[in-house]
Amino acid sequence: MGSGDTSRDMTKADTAAACPLVSPLIWYIPGLFSLVAVPAAIMVNPFFFGLAGSLLAGICLLLSPPHRRSLGVIGLIGAVAGGSLGVFVLR
């Protein structure tokens, strides 16, 4: 009895239904919060809000479907740039 006997082939429909989101647009929320954290990283606290924005952008990248990850990438770049700008330029 090999390992191939007990496992079955997963089809595309099985993997799509494995962990459905409540709403198909739920991945927008962490991405938008990461963009909101960019001005706070510049003006208020660069370390905390830069870290929070990058973590929210990472969550957005994990939740978003393929070819829809631009919001998370923009949020990640904005969090790094906002944190760097707040630390090195404005302080």
How much is the pTM? 0.73
- Which residue is associated with the tokens 């929210």? 56
What does the pLDDT read at residue 89?
85
- Per-residue pLDDT 10s for the chain (91 aa) are 555 545 555 555 555 555 666 777 888 899 999 999 999 999 999 999 999 999 999 999 998 888 889 999 999 999 999 999 999 887 6
- Range 16-19, long-range pairs (CB < 8 A, 24+ positions): none
Do residues 21 and 27 lie in contact, with contact meaning Cβ atoms separated by under 8 Å?
A: yes
What does the pLDDT read at residue 32?
93
What does the pLDDT read at residue 58?
94
Q: What are the backbone dihedrals phi and psi of residue 24, each rounded to the nearest 5 degrees, phi first?
A: -70, -15
